[in-house]
Structure 1
Amino acid sequence: MRLRYAYVPVLLLVSFSAMTNVWASSFLSHNERDFRFAVSSDTVRGSRISKQDSIFKTLNLDEVVVTAAIKEVEMKGDTTVINANAFKTAEGAYLEELLKRVPGLEYEKQNKTMTYNGLPIHEINVNGESFFGGNSTLALENLPAKLVSKIKVYDKRSELEKITKVRKGGENYVLDLQTKREFNGTLITSAGIGRGNNDKKEAELISNLFRQTGDNISVIARSGNRYMTSRYPDNRQDNVAMNFAKKFSKRFTLYGNMMYNHYASGNESTLYSEQYLTTGNRYQNSASTSTNRNTMGNGTLGMRWSLDDKTYINVGGNFSKSKGDNTSDSQQSTTSAVPTATSATSSNTSEGDERINSINRKSDSKSDSHSFSLNADVTRVLNDKGTSISLTGSYSDSKSTNESHSLSETTYYQLESSLGGDSVLYRNQYQHSPSTNRAYSVGINLTQPLAENLHLQLGYRYAATRQMSDRSTYESEVYMDSLSNHTLSKTITHDLSLYLNYDGKRWEANAGVLMQPERRSLDQKTGLLHADTVRTSVNWNPQLNVSWHRGKTRFELNYDGSSRQPDLGSLMSLTDNSDPLHITHGNPSLKASYNQNFRLTGRNTRLGLSGDVNFSNTYNSQTQAVFYNLATGGTETYPVNVNGNWNMRASLRYQKRWKKRFNLSARTGASFAQSVALVNEGKSEEPDRSVTHNTSYNANLRLGYQPKWGGFDLQGDWRYRHATNQLRGTSNYTRSYNFSLNTYAELPLGFLVKSDVAYSFRNGTNIKKGEDDQVVWNLGASWRFLKKKQAELSLYWSDILSDKKNYYRNVTATGLTESRTSQIGSYFIISFKYRLNKQL
């Protein structure tokens, strides 16, 4: 029956209880989320529900269901709380599908980066504990979406910062997943296997156990090539990973993870580039075939231990080992006129004086590395006011060995050989490059409360680093002094820090400055040339963070500045000509650079608005002065300091939910950047100052509809980029449009159908017909059966139209580059999966 209590409309579902006088009540949202609690029958009998409901005097209620809309996004202090139940996903979906539906959350799968309202997300936690040491990909692709009840977004403090209540700068925004109560203490396991055409295959075993306290254990094992779309026939990725966190008591927690990964992939790709020069443009075509095989294993182990109410110990360590084996076969040609063929292997690419050089190269390389590190801190609270002293220490050691072998033939068409023909350079080169790196540090921090919400911290840290590397080069099995080098560097740093932290009801402020006197020494030998240098310097790192919040509104201002000394190798007057087309020199006159960043962010969760403004600039920025050799097509570079590099960007976001089923989110932004370089095209002795302006605009609109039986997500995206160069008087642009529709429908008898289609179109400078658009359509269907629907048979059909084009384009005022990787086209895979849940 329906009742109204205190003039707030709710739905009450009443049933009889024959076994007990204790009721279980459930608050249900529009998407059937439950909050259960026990209520005494005497309590409800004595409460006033309705004058007409005299039946309650003699009957006991068994269950009360309250239905009300839940808030999509809330802000609690500096933490944003996202209600995952407001974003419905298909049955069996993983965390990545859930996050795609959350306004403000953006995940770039290609480069594995994630942001929320423009803030970079560094790791994913579960119930407050780190999940696989910040490996977000493992969480996104393996955690079931149905486990998550809430997503918290906040700037996570280190354990030492939590104890001392002083923030030492730097940002570490995390997504903290809160698991649903009904799944806490339940071992959730799934196993599956699949096979398809084009030699597609997959196998998986995933098992998770989470508790509300933060205790968890997860095991993930995957093998296959389902989502690898290049034409290489031996594509394969094998992963085995385990993560755990265990609180043995209120005072002692142990956590850790181990991961193994074997990756084999290959690509057939082409690259086209244009380089704008005042003396005449340069054009380059290249084609390559590459294979990569990498094996990696790593692990971490740590503990948090509170000996008593005033003594805290944190200890952690990690190790890693990796091996790699890579091969490449490439052909490249450079011309002074637009090529008549797009293939670098074509003999008709250019004719006569238009040809500058061509390169045929085969190479293979092997790498082997291992490393480990330890860190610890101990804090003792000295009195009741909170005065504390902390000791910190760390040690790390790493070793690596790289071997490479290359066979190349370079033809210079503008240079005449002694025999009167084109000059040809043959190389059969082998390089052996071992390196070691060892570092340790010790430090002490004294924290003093000045008031209830005001803390001051003084710190000192001593750090030492030793790095050694060798490069032995052999030409046709003959050792080459001029192409080999030996480097030994040592650095000693003294960190002096002062931080002030205020944490009030509405205002929060963190200010600090880090001064780093350091002494660096370098001993380097290249061929018969030997150089050593010692340099002392002082680095500065001021920081300021001020935030204000009231109700649903929050504003935050950040400033971060840092000075950076030039690399010691860049200060040496030595020349590296191991690649004759890319010769590098040093510059002893380099100065330190100083970079500063300003950011202002604001958001109001009631209005659904958020935005940010960012500005960054660098004094004495280090760049490369480039000298072009017009005869060979090569370059010579040396590092220089320039001023004038700066950029700014702004963005505005809006999100709205209405009628419980519809979601609307919009985003728009703009950016402007000025970059300065020094170039010489052979017209003068000194390089010219080259200033490039890059302007970009973007807009995104997403509309979601979530009926009870499925979901629709329609999205449109527009991006525009324009670049101009003042020295060359050149300009170019790229404009792109993307439209996508993601849908799924849950049908009777356990059937589910889902589809996603994306259309993209682009135009701009030198974009050819046939390379300007694509339609990628994927389709999936599944059937869940058996008594508890724990078995699933599914079909996935990828790129039905075989229209996917893997293009990457970068346009600047100095030129453009565009690469393309061959794709496998349409394929399908049929999979079987079995799920088992067991309460522990």
Structure 2
Amino acid sequence: MKNQTVLNAIRKICKGQPVKVTSQGKTITVQARRKLRDLQREIRLTGKVEDGFLQIPLPEARVSVLTKDSTVVVDSASMTRVYGANMRLIGAYYVALVNGGEKEYLVRAQMKGYDDVWQRVPITNLTKEEVTIPALKMHRMRKVDLDEVLVTATRIKFFYRGDTLIYDATAFRMPEGSMLDDLIRQLPGVTMNNDGEIFVNGRKIDELLLGSRSFFGGNKKVLMQNLPYYTVKHLKVYEKQTDMSEALGYDVEPRKYVMDVNLKEEYSKGYIANVEAAAGTENRWLGRAFALRFTDRTRLTLLGNANNVNETRHIGESGHWTPNNMPRSIMTTHSAAAEIAYYAKGDKLKETLRAEFTSQTDEQTLRQRREQFLPSSTPTSLTESFSRQGNRRLSLHNTLSLKDPTWIYTDAVFEYVQRDGSSHSDFEQWDDSLTATLRSAGINEGITWRGQMNVQGAFNLGENQRVTFITIVEHNEEALQQSTAYKQTLFSQGQVTRNLYNADDISNRKTWGSANISYRRELGNRFNFHISDNLSYTSERNHDYLYHPDTLLLVSQLDALAAITDPHNSYNSYGQITQNSIGASLYRTDTYRYSDDNPFTIQYDRFKIGISAPVRQERLSYQRGALDTLASQTTLFLNASASFRIMTRDGKHDIRFNVSHDRQAASLMDRITFRDDSQPLVVKLGNPNLNGQVTSRLSGNFYPGYANQQRYHLSISFDYHHRDVAQAVTYAPVTGVYTYQPMNVCGAYTANTALYFIRTFGEKRFWTMSTSADASLHHDKDHAMLAGETESHVNTVNTLTLHDESFIQYERSTLNLRATGDFSWRHSEGRMFDFAVLNVLDYRYGLTARYTLPKINTTLAADATMYSRRGYGSTELNSDDFLLNASISQPFLKDRLFARLESFDLLHQLNTTQYMVNAQGRIETWYRSLPHYVMLHLIWHFNKNPKKK
């Protein structure tokens, strides 16, 4: 090329080629352009448009796509409307096809009455066929002329958005002073037990989140009892990906079923604080404080609590004041806790440090009646006891989670506990006449500490492959001293009395570690293969030295221990367990979408089959009196599981089946030949012929789609125990001594079925009805024999339980009325010739009411319930108890100060009972519960938001 500069010559040569020629000084650069197929490749841009304040869809919006030089590429993107329950619009999604050659696009949303919204969309990954754009949030113009209209609306309490159930917290009229737990109890389809476990349409919530983030280590009660209801905007229920799945970009673990508490915008940053003080009759008192400070990146939580009222239920809020779930002790608690959390942008890094201290005293009084099912005999024992247990616990917890560039999780825990206690009891053993009595008194004290370190990680290994690892190390130690004085009297051969003092020095040291590595690969056609190996090691040292002093003293207070040692009931043991388990599974994924026009799909496991082969080696060195042995056992089992899930393409119906077969080895300690008669009237034996457990499980669940303001859930399950371990009992009528020994039983099973149904009806949906019915059949087997017999008898008892809990509720504005009913019938039949058929019936019915007077905002609440019991062996338990509770509350100082006067059990009727039947006998237990009392609460709320810049 004559008369051409080098630069121009190169440009002519490269003309038409996918390269770019540039020069800087004497340097000429030839750079390859993106491939032509990349320039021609179409990319789908998707997103949604909504009102930025109301968060409602805006399907009338016009969405355009432009290049960065403002050239219009797509004038009006196609818009898809997504509908939920009752054809309520829950989403407006747009789709636009653009050329992959551009590095960046601009998306614009326009609508009459709204300001334009722009969103920059960088194209950074040409291999992706779809780019999801953050929601375009449009805001109304500052000045818009509107015609005058009168609008009357009824707020919808809950609706579905895709696979998410959303409760609108602002649609519930709650009394001032209510907390999050009060609100949750009012949600349609939601139940909550006394342990704080939440169930939505019969399915248990795995975690309660605040703003899509874990709160206080997953402690639901801390959040529910301290967060004011008025700060909540939405409660969302959905299946959430785990952090590992989010980091790797696909589901690698089962999703968690969560309830996500979303705060109103004005409470999403700043401070929230509550202080409560209460005093009542019967020397009842309470004080607690809660403070929460949070931003987008940090969260600080402080709380303190002191009370002697171990009661969290609220008058007029639920129908759970049943005798069997009343508090079973009088507990005094002093506690303080703090948590600080940091979140990097996009939650790619999360770190949480939590410290807790609790001092607690628990006093329990009980009376128990127990019948033993034996051939030609039904011995009955009566027990009355009192115990006081105190403990002081310090806990430190630090977690760190990293999601980018790979997933790393660490968890460090340290706990320290001091305990002390005392007890006394009176025991009587009856056959045809009084056989024996036993009086006892005891004291104890001990220290326990534990440290644990958990490190987990996962990363993608090339395309469609993944490796995960888990390493856990834990060490704990316990030192316990206890002393008991016994006075035993036998009446079978005259009246013989024996006094005995036991002092125990107990120690346990345990070190445990586990390492797991797994590999997963996609096989194509949505099939996946997963293999894992888990190696664990456990080392444990125990000793229990028993001494017989001549008075009630702890071991640390005794001298000359060798002279008072009981060698036959003292032991040393050192055990080691090494287990390696290899597992493999094959599964296939599938997808569904809530609308044919909805571009977004949801992935789930359609079926999964898996096997695991644990190899377990155990060694135990055991010394007790003249017994000094070294035992070992090696076991290899093959466990299997399978699951199958059917989802309709629109996601409206969900059917799930699970089946598993599991084998476990018997405890090597239980297989040692030993005899422990340290406690009067009780002897414990080992069993060298003991085998392990073999269990098969089958379960199924049906979740039909939500329609016509109703929903139901059907479940079934069946557990079959091919072989199980039970504590066989031998009874000596002459001495009243019970001898216990682990033995195998075969053929026990349990079958369950349950139906949950809820429906909202009426033109304005003021009415709600719900029923939760379940039935279970328990085929129980156990061993029992009389002293002198050469062979134990296998007792078989079938117990059929029918249960139903229903309510119908009317709620309009601040008026809430609920009629409740509940019955539980247990029918037990034994295959022993002298077994009397048992029919026990517990039922209740009642009414709860709550109303807030307009203008003055005074809230009145009451619940009245009749509890009835029939068929108990103890006549004092066959009773009718009428429970009446009432409260009145009033807000002051613009709802910042709140006063509530409560009265529990106005008629002094309620106590706590528990009933149990199995193949060995039946047990009826009465517990002392909180006394009736009246209490006045004063609660102060405070919140502060940062000033807008």
TM-score, L = length of structure 1:
0.86
The secondary structure found in structure 2 opposite 1:482 is helix
Matched, 1:647 2:750: yes
Q: Contact between 1:27 and 1:66, CA under 8 Å: does it hold in 2?
A: no
The 8 Å contact of residues 486 and 524 in structure 1, kept in 2 or not, is answered as yes
Q: Aligned pair 1:790/2:896, yes or no?
A: yes
Q: How does 1:353-502 map to 2 (within 5 A)?
A: 354-383=433-462, 385-415=463-493, 421-451=494-524, 453-476=526-549, 478-502=564-588
Which one of the candidate residues 914, 923, 939 is aligned to 1:833? 939
1:387 CA drift (Å): 1.9
Change (3 A) 1:767 1:773: farther
Match of 1:141 among 225, 233, 241: 225
Q: Which residue of 1 aligns with 2:685?
A: 585
Q: Which residue of 2 aligns with 1:267?
A: 364
Q: From the superposition, tell whether residues 162 and 423 of structure 1 become closer, same or farther in structure 2 (CA, over 3 Å).
A: farther
CA distance in 2, matches of 1:104, 1:828: 32
TM-score (normalizing by structure 2): 0.76
Q: Please, which of 661, 668, 671 is the counterpart of residue 766 of structure 2?
A: 661
> CA, structure 1 residues 174+544, in 2 after alignment: closer, same or farther (shift >3 Å)?
farther
Counterpart of 2:390 in structure 1 is: 293
1:238 aligns with 2:334: yes
1:71 deviates by: 6.1
> Per the alignment, do residues 558 and 245 of structure 1 end up closer, same or farther by CA in structure 2, a change over 3 Å counting?
farther
Write out per-residue CA displacement over residues 655-712 of structure 1, whole angstroms, 9 at most, x where no aligned residue. Answer: 1112232211112111101011121124631111211101000111111222112322
Q: Sort the Cα spacing of 1:735 and 1:328 in 2 relative to 1 into closer, same or farther, 3 A.
A: same
Cα–Cα, structure 1 residues 178 and 615, in superposed 2: closer, same or farther, change >3 Å? farther
Q: Which whole-Å deviations, capped at 9, do the CAs of 1:490-518 have from their partners, x for residues lacking one? A: 01111212133433114623332222112
Q: For 1:750-805, what per-residue CA distance to the aligned partner results, in whole angstroms no more than 9, with x for missing partners? A: 3222222222111114352675121222222122112x321122212221111122
Judge conservation of contact 2:883–2:909 (CA < 8 Å) in 1. Answer: yes
Residue type of the alignment partner of 2:538: T
* Contact in 2 for aligned 1:183/1:210 (Cα 8 Å): no
Q: Could you tell me which runs of 5 or more consecutive residues in structure 1 were left unpaired when the two chains were aligned.
A: 1-21, 29-34, 47-55, 338-353, 416-420
Does the aligned pair in 2 maintain the 1:730–1:813 contact within 8 Å? Answer: no
Could you tell me whether the CA contact under 8 Å between 1:666 and 1:699 is conserved in 2? yes
Q: Which of 805, 830, 838 matches 1:725?
A: 830
Q: Residue 267 and residue 621 in structure 1: after superposition, are their counterparts in 2 closer, same or farther (change >3 A)?
A: closer
Structure 2 letter corresponding to 1:751: T
Contact conserved, 1:236 with 1:263, CA < 8 A, in 2? Answer: yes
Answer whether contact 1:167 1:510 (CA < 8 A) is retained: no
Cα distance in 2 for partners of 1:684, 1:154 equals 59
Query: Separation in 1 of the partners of 2:297 and 2:659?
Result: 34
Q: Is residue 2:271 matched to residue 1:187? A: yes
Q: 568-577 vs 97-106, which deviates more?
A: 97-106
For residues 305 and 139 of structure 1, the distance between their equivalents in structure 2, rounded to whole angstroms, comes to: 25
Q: Assess, with a 3 A threshold, how the Cα gap between structure 1 residues 60 and 45 changes in structure 2: closer, same or farther.
A: farther
Aligned AA (1:282): P
Asked if the contact 2:615–2:636 (Cα under 8 Å) also holds between the matched residues in 1, the reply is: yes
**1:351 aligned residue:** none
Contact kept, 8 Å, 2:248 with 2:407, in 1: the verdict is: no
Give the CA RMSD over aligned residues: 3.3
Q: How does 1:778-817 map to 2 (within 5 A)?
A: 778-786=885-893, 788-812=894-918, 814-817=920-923
Residue number in structure 1 paired with 2:343: 247
8 A contact 1:725–1:814 mirrored in 2: no
Q: Is 1:126–2:210 an aligned residue pair?
A: yes
Question: Are the structure 2 counterparts of residues 103 and 572 from structure 1 closer, same or farther at C-alpha, using a change threshold of 3 Å?
Answer: farther
Residue 342 of structure 1 corresponds to none
1:12-27 paired onto structure 2 within 5 Å: none
Q: Tell me, what secondary structure is at the counterpart of 1:620?
A: strand
Distance 1:765 1:234 in 2: 26
**1:189-244, Cα deviation, whole Å (9 max, x unpaired):** 11121222222211111123466x69643322111123469999985212222334
Q: Does 1:521 align with 2:626?
A: no
- The alpha carbon displacement at 1:443 in A equals 2.7
- Which of 198, 206, 226 does residue 282 from structure 2 map onto? 198
Q: Structure 1 residues 734, 88: CA separation in 2 closer, same or farther (over 3 Å shift)?
A: farther
Are 1:547 and 2:645 counterparts? yes
The one-letter amino acid of 2:924's match is E
| Aligned pair partner of 2:630 in 532, 538, 542 | 532
Distance in 1 separating the partners of 2:278 and 2:836: 52
- Where 1:100 maps in the other structure, the secondary structure is helix
Q: Secondary structure of 1:686's match?
A: coil
Distance change (3 Å), C-alpha of 1:670 and 1:36 = closer
Worse overlay, 647-656 or 546-555: 546-555
Give the Cα separation in 2 of the matches to 1:200 and 1:293. 19
Structure 2 unaligned segments of length 5 or more: list them: 1-50, 58-89, 93-107, 117-141, 313-325, 550-560, 593-603
C-alpha separation between the residues in 2 aligned to 1:518 and 1:545?
26
Deviation at 1:737, TM superposition (A): 1.0
Distance change >3 Å, CA 716–CA 261, structure 1 → 2: same
Which one of the candidate residues 695, 703, 719 is aligned to 1:595?
695
What do the CA deviations read for 1:588-624 (whole angstroms, capped 9, x no partner)? 2222222122111112222412110011111121112
- Helix, strand or coil for the counterpart of 2:413? strand
* More displaced 10-residue stretch of structure 1: 91-100 or 483-492: 91-100
Q: What corresponds to 2:713 in structure 1?
A: 610
SS in 1 for 2:765: coil
Cα distance in 2 for partners of 1:634, 1:87 equals: 60
Displacement of 1:107 in angstroms is 2.8
Q: Partners of 1:171 and 1:180 in 2: how far apart?
A: 26
Q: Which amino acid aligns with 2:289?
A: L
Matches within 5 A, 1:666-815: 666-682=771-787, 684-727=789-832, 728-747=834-853, 748-768=855-875, 771-786=878-893, 788-812=894-918, 814-815=920-921
3-state secondary structure, aligned to 2:491: strand
Q: Assess if the C-alpha contact under 8 Å between 1:733 and 1:811 holds in 2.
A: no
Contact 1:494-1:517 at 8 Å conserved across structures: yes
Counterpart AA for 2:822: D
Distance 1:752 1:392, change over 3 A: same
Confirm whether residue 208 of structure 1 aligns to residue 292 of structure 2: yes
The one-letter amino acid of 1:783's match is Q
Q: Pick from 626, 631, 654: which aligns with 2:734?
A: 631
- Secondary structure at 1:660 match in 2: coil
- SS of 1:532's equivalent? strand
Amino acid across the alignment from 1:582: V
Describe the SS at the equivalent of 1:466. strand
> Does the aligned pair in 1 maintain the 2:310–2:332 contact within 8 Å?
no
Moved more, 764-773 or 311-320: 764-773
Q: Secondary structure at the match of 1:414?
A: coil
Q: Residue in 2 aligned with 1:344?
A: none
Quick check: 1:562–1:596 contact (8 Å CA) kept in 2?
yes
TM alignment of 1:70-219, pairs within 5 A: 70=156, 72=158, 74=160, 76-77=162-163, 80-85=165-170, 87-109=172-194, 113-153=197-237, 158-163=242-247, 173-209=257-293, 216-219=299-302
State the SS of the aligned residue for 1:570: helix
CA change 1:233–1:613 in 2 (3 A) is: closer
Q: Which whole-Å CA distance do the structure 2 matches of 1:23 and 1:99 have between them?
A: 27
Go from structure 1 to structure 2 and tell me whether the alpha carbon gap of 1:95 and 1:632 turns closer, same or farther (over 3 Å shift).
farther
Tell me which amino acid in the other structure corresponds to 1:636.
T
**Distance change in 2, residues 1:639/1:824 (3 Å):** closer
- The change in CA–CA distance for 1:397 and 1:758 in structure 2 (over 3 A counts) is same
Instruction: Quote the Cα distance in structure 1 between the aligned partners of 2:445 and 2:150.
Output: 66
